Each structure stands twice: as C-alpha cells, then as structure tokens.
A and B are shown apart, each in its own frame.
Chain A
Amino acid sequence: MDDALVRAGRALRLVLLIALALLFLIPFYLLVRNGLASERDITSPEWTFFPAELRWGNVRELFGDPSVPFARSLLNSALIAVATTLGTLLLASLAGYGLARIPYRHANKVFYGILGTLLVPAAVTFVPSFVLVSSLGWISTLRGLIVPTLFSAFACFVFRQYFLGFPRELEDAAQVDGLGYWRTYWLVVVPGARPVFAAVGTIVFLGAWNSFLWPLVIGQDRRAWTVQVALSSFTTAQVVRLHELFLAAAVSILPLLLVFLCFQRWIVAGAERSGID
C-alpha cells in the first residue's frame, strides 16, 4: 500500500519535472525556430513548429551584414569577458582572503564598507562614473570597458565566506614551514579553492558577457562594440528584421551555454562549500 503510494509519488514527480523542463526549454526552441525561419514563416498566422525549410543562409546573412560588425563584436565580448573574469578573480580573491584570514583591527569596518555597496543600485552612480572614466581618457578603450567593472563586492563577499570555512590546518602547517601570507595564499589556498574560483568565475563571466549599458556608453567607437550592443542595434533600427534578430540572439548565448555546461558542476560544488550563503 505504502509502497504503491511512494511509487505513484515518484512517478508524479518525474512527470512534473519533465513538464517543467519542457516549459523551460521553450524559449530556447523559439530562438532557434525563429532564427532559422524566413520572415514570412515567423509572422504567419498559422503556427508551424518548424519552418518549412531551415534557412541556414540566415547565418551567412548575419555575419555578412555590412552595417553590424557581428563577428568583431563577438570577439570583443570574449576578450572583455575573459579579462574581466581573470581580473575580478585575482582582486576579489586576494581581498576575500585578507578579510577572512589576516587579523587586523579595522577588518570588519572594511568588510562592511565593501558589503554596503551591494545595496546601492549601479544606475545611481552611472553618470558620475561615466564622467570619471571619461576624465581619465578611457572612452572607447579596453581599459575603460574593463577596469571600472573589476571591483565586484559580490565576488569579494563570496570569497571571504568561502575562506572563512577553509580548513585552517593546511595554512597553519604552511605558516610553520615559514611561508608568509603571500606564498601560503598562492601555494596552499588557491590550489585548494578551485571550485569557488570556477563558480565565481562563471558568474562574473556571464555578467561581463551580458552587460549592456556600460559597454554601450563607453564603447563609442563601432570597433569597440560588444555583442550586446550589436544585438541592440538590430532592435533599434526603424525596420526590425525578426529572423536576423533572433539568430543574433541565439548566436550570442551559444558561447555562454558552453561555458555554463562545462562549469556548472563546479558552481554547485563551489556553492556547497562556501556559502554563497
């Protein structure tokens, strides 16, 4: 009796999960369907699950569009996202470690000063930030696109929490061996903390790849456009070409999905051991 109930419950759960998974996948399906369809198929009043013919020529059209340097923008995004990720990981992990492990009278004050910035919406400081970066002469430069975004309070917070829970014995042993904070950090802590680096790195990479307003305003030169800016140029034109827009969107998330699928194991592991909480 009980057994049947349990089995029914399990079956129900699986059905529910499958239904939800299908719902979650619909938007991805729409991206591909619309991206490879003709304009007429997309706007046809009769719904077709797949367009009569998949138009792979759309891909060539997208990359060949003379008015939008799409391939270039993908490359820019990749460069910026990688540089931002590496820089953020370095700065935030060092700071997180210092806050967690080096006794210092004002460490708590510094920590709350960092944490507090999480509560302030970035839009609040947008105009002064822009004026500041511009007065440094960083408009339309890689520096301007990358450096101001490197100081992520969120990443620092996660690292600190993680290092608080990091087994102290290893470091103590290293200290006994005469390694200072610096060498202990590089030789003992970093190798042991790979999951949290992967987790934070993935999140930072996603954020950098997807960020829009900052690259739009800083990257004034067309050659400094990121993929999100290129994408928006398809939507702000007076005439919207739906298939090109959807295809560009699909291509723009492809690298992310790959990064994501490769690293999600680490994100779970990282979250488990730190607390992102």
Chain B
Amino acid sequence: MGSFSRRTLLVAGAGAGLLTACGSNTGREGGGSGPGLSQWYHQYGEAGTERAVQRYAAAFREARVTVQWRPGNYDQQTAAALLTDSGPDVFEVNGPTLDQIQGGQVLDLTELLEGVKDDFSPAVLTPKTYDGRVWGIPQVVDTQLLYYRKSLLGDAGVEPPTTLDALVDAARELTGDKVKGLFLGNDGGAGVLGGTPLYAAGLQLVTDDGKAGFDDPAAARTLGKLHQLYADKSLLLGAPSDWSDPSAFLQGLTAMQWSGLWALPQVRKELGDDFGVLPFPADGGHGRPSVPVGAYGAAVSARSTHQEAAKAYVKWLWVDRTDYQEDFALSYGFHIPARLSLARKATKLRQGPAADVVRFTTDHGYAQPLLWTPASQTAYQDALSRIIRNGASPERELRTVVRKVSAELDRVKNAKKTP
C-alpha cells in the first residue's frame, strides 16, 4: 500500500508539471548536444525494445534525440504528421510508400549506404529503392511462416504439408471438436497472406516491367483452394488475439498457425521441441514455397529542420553501429538483422527452427514491390476476402482487381518524379 500513496504523490506532481511543460514539447532527451531531433517508432510488443531504442538515442553525441513511441495506427499518424512541421525528423516506416517518395516527403539516403550497400539483404533493400536511389534504411528483416505442433500432426498421422493441397488436407484432418486445423488470422487469411499464395503459384504481384503479375488462370486456381480451407471449417476464426500473436497456437486452439518469426522465442519457451516451421507451401506445376519478408525502414522527413543531423543519426544508428543493430534484432523480439554479415554471425539463428527460417527466407523470400500501392492492396485484399469467405468466383474477382491494379500502376508511372 505504501508504494501506492507514494505514486499518488508522484502523479499529482506530474500533473502540475504537465500544465507547465506541455507547451514546450520537450520530451525525453538524449545525452548529446547540438540540434534536437525527434525519432518515431511504432509500438513494438516485446518487452525492453523501447528502453533499448532510448539507450541508443542517448548514446548519440551530435544531436539530442527524442524518442517517441506511438501506439495505435502508426501509418496514419506518420502520414498525418508528415504534412506538418511538427512531425518527426527520423521515423521508421513500413515503406516509405511510393507516394511518399514521389511526393518528396522523404529524403534520398543513398549516400549513407556507400560502400556497405551490398551488405544489406537485397530482398528488403529493393522495395526501398526507387529510380536507383535508396529512400529508407532497412532496420531488420521480418518474415512470416507456418508453425505446426509436431505431436498433434503425429497423432493424426499427418506429414508436415509441402504442397497447398496437402495443407488443405492436413488442416481438415487436424480439425477436431476442440482444436482447429489452421489459423490464418481472424479474417480467414485475406489480410496476412496477401500476395503469398500468388508467389507460391509461381506468380508475383507486379512484374518486372510494371504490370499486374497475376493475370493468369493459375492465380484463380490457387486462391480458390484457400476457400476450400474455409469451406471445410478447418480455419480457426474469432480468436481473442490475431495471427501476429502465438497465443491461439500456444493455447491449443489450433494445430497450425501462420505467424511471424518474432513469435519463435515464445513458442519455443512454451512448447520446447514440440513444434516445427514451414514456408507457405507451393502450388501447381510452376509453384515454389513462398515466404514473405518485409522491413521497417528508417527514413528522414523532408520537413526536418535539421536534415544533415538527421541523416547523420540514421547513418550512425542503422549503418555504423552494428552492435546496436544486432541487439535490436535479437535481444528483445526475434528478427533477422538486415545486414547479411550480422545475420551470418548470429548464433541464435544457426540452430533448430530458427536456422530453417533463415534458409527459407534466403531461398524463397519475396517482398511486396514498391509499385504495389495501398490502393492496389485494398482492392486485392477485398477480393481475396470475398474469395475465401464468400466463395466468390476467383476468376471474376481477379479480373476486377487486375483492372484496378493496372490503372493504379499507370497512375504511379505517370506521376511526376521528385526533382
């Protein structure tokens, strides 16, 4: 109880402070001197991440860096803030998007990578490159995969599935009274899978010459099989936490779950050796396993009043300080460092399922192309949702999507380039 009353006092004091301090937006300041920089992160779930990034910021000597930790819809907040002068100087972004680059909202960071560009995983650097220039420095590589319970598969006499057909069968076999076969997120997979099944069919979202990459009968065939999973009632739906959280898998609500690499430490802690990992299985004659990779990148706002300092900070943190990069990737959550040399070195990534994941990523990783804009994504995701859950005709849905995506690709190709 004693700690409570002390806290009450503290809070009262803080409240008085709020009235006076709030006007000046001082925030948490680093130990450095020089210009003040504000740096934004989205809220990471893993304990310790926030303290770690504050520690990095405080160690930078040439500027006073204020870290802001943003809960809620991060994309929306950064997008709005970039329209104003009170936005961040440095921010992490699931992009930058093509429109942010074309609109001149972020700075060209190509020079920061001089001499080390080849050390960054090309899968995640490519979508941050436009017109041969680099607009965001990849922080870590994130990837998604299929987790399965070895014991449950063994009991049911099911082999780990290596084709989409086998996955559909396995999910059906594993579905019982209390347990579902597969969890692809509470929406049945439309959100998280995205282009993954297309790549598993040997197709892609956008071709190298900038056209819709799934105008092909194979696409409809593959997506139709996802509806089969739903129609068989093999999918777990409406779990309290979504695909990104391994809880459903750990609570025994599902035998297999699509989730992120970040869930691996927690899964290993709770299940020991009773689990395995797989890429999204291949489908059809031209198919190959498919593993989505993505990266939050560090970008510098074009509205920053201290552009050079901001660039210097990004170079310092995400290029030079490999010790911090390794710490950030592996000490709190579980991500693959974006630097190939660091990923090779990391002992945690060299054994067991983690090593499998690194191998999948190298062999089968694909990243969403830069030309795949949010408008295309919405159109495609709507269609996928209708195919999976409403049993809508994949051919017809895809025809509409191809039309919309082609129009969107034309728009961004014709958009004025940043001077």
* A residues adjacent to B (C-beta < 8 A): 43, 45, 60, 63, 67, 71-72, 75-76, 79, 127, 130-131, 134-135, 137, 139-143, 216-217, 220-224, 229-230, 232-233, 236-240, 242
Interfacial chain A residues near B71, Cβ < 8 Å: 216, 229-230, 232-233, 236-237
Q: In whole angstroms, how far apart are the Cα atoms of A76 and B19 in the complex?
A: 10
Contact of A135 among B4, B21, B84 (CB under 8 A): B84
- Interface size (B, Cβ < 8 Å)? 44
Interfacial chain A residues near B241, Cβ < 8 Å: 239-240
Contacts A76-B15, A135-B84, A216-B71 supplied; 9 other A-B pairs, CB < 8 Å: A45-B178, A72-B14, A75-B11, A142-B23, A222-B69, A223-B22, A233-B71, A240-B240, A240-B247
- Contacts known (A238-B45, A239-B245); A63 close to B7, Cβ less than 8 A: yes
Kindly supply a per-residue 1/0 record for chain B positions 1-44, scoring 1 wherever the CB is within 8 Å of any chain A CB and 0 otherwise: 00110010001001100110111010100000000000000011
The majority secondary structure among interface residues of chain A is: helix
Q: How far is the CB of A104 from chain B (nearest CB, A)?
A: 38
Q: Provide a sorted-by-A list of 24 A–B residue pairs whose CB atoms are within 8 angstroms.
A: A72-B11, A72-B14, A72-B18, A130-B84, A131-B84, A134-B81, A134-B85, A134-B86, A141-B22, A142-B18, A220-B77, A220-B86, A221-B25, A222-B68, A223-B27, A224-B22, A229-B72, A232-B71, A237-B44, A237-B45, A238-B44, A238-B45, A238-B46, A240-B240
Q: In whole angstroms, how far apart are the Cα atoms of A236 and B68 in the complex?
A: 16
Q: How far is the CB of B89 from chain A (nearest CB, A)?
A: 13
B14 touches A137 (CB 8 A): no
Q: How far is the CB of A141 from chain B (nearest CB, A)?
A: 5
B18 touches A127 (CB 8 A): no
Q: In whole angstroms, how far apart are the Cα atoms of A137 and B25 in the complex?
A: 10
B251 touches A142 (CB 8 A): no
Residue of A nearest to B240 (CB): A242
Task: Report if B50 contacts A (CB, 8 A).
Answer: yes
Task: Report if B83 contacts A (CB, 8 A).
Answer: yes
Q: How far is the CB of A44 from chain B (nearest CB, A)?
A: 9
Interfacial chain A residues near B69, Cβ < 8 Å: 222
B23 touches A141 (CB 8 A): yes
Task: Report if B102 contacts A (CB, 8 A).
Answer: no
Task: Report if B116 contacts A (CB, 8 A).
Answer: no
